[in-house]
Amino acid sequence: MDIYIIPIVTGLLAWFIAWLFIKILTRSKRFGLKKMLQQLDISAFINAANSTQHFETVLPIIDKQLDDFFKHKLGEKMPAIAMFIGDKTIEQLKLVFVEELRAISPSMLQKIANHGKENFENNLDSKWLPIIETKLMKGTRPFRYLSFTIGLAFGILLVVLFHHL
């Protein structure tokens, strides 16, 4: 009768190994996510070459905000200046501002990305790892069930082989 418990034990062992892998990935200081993130070079994602592309994607938002600022907010804050600024001057000012923002965007985006990475790393243990671990546990549930099934099948195969020997 004891031999028939082997499939259950091998199934549970396979499930436990899959579960343990997720725990090691999220908790281990040597092999885990924190180590991987520390080794991640953020400049591979945001650099001078692609920062202009990133800037161009937000340019419509910048243009709209500048337009709103020059046409409405500037008049509220500085009515004396707003009286002398027409649509042509607003367009020229927007061009100057956009050109300056385009010039500083590579260093600005790099600084924002580095700060975001540092902030993420600093809050990884307290804020992000519990969220990541929960999502990984839910996302890998089918694989853990599959691991249990494979382990169970392996255990049944062992029982059959040992029973016939």
pLDDT in tens, 22-61: 888 877 777 777 777 777 777 777 766 777 777 888 889 9
At residue 156, φ and ψ (nearest 5 deg) are -65, -40
Q: Which of the residue ranges 4-18, 41-55, 69-83, 144-158 would you say has the lowest mean pLDDT?
A: 41-55
Query: What is the separation, in whole angstroms, between the first and last Cα of the chain?
Result: 17
Q: Cα separation of 146 and 11, whole Å? A: 9
Q: Find the range with the poorest average confidence among 15-24, 37-46, 149-158.
A: 37-46
Tell me which H or E stretch contains 152.
Answer: helix 141-164
pLDDT for the residue 110: 82
- % of the chain with per-residue pLDDT over 70: 96
- Average pLDDT on 9-25 reads 89
Rounded to whole angstroms, the Cα distance separating 62 from 71 reads 14
Tell me the average pLDDT across 110-127: 83
> What is the rounded distance in angstroms from the CA atom of residue 150 to the CA atom of residue 3?
18
Give the predicted TM-score (pTM) of the model.
Answer: 0.56
According to the model, what pLDDT value does residue 1 have?
52
For the four alpha carbons of 77, 83, 87 and 92, in that order, the dihedral sign comes to: negative
pLDDT for 149: 92
Tell me the pLDDT band of 13, cut-offs 50, 70 and 90. very high
Report angle CA 83, 87, 89 to the nearest 5 degrees. Answer: 75
Q: What is the pLDDT of residue 71?
A: 83
- Residue 85 half-sphere exposure, CB side, CA atoms within 13 Å? 19
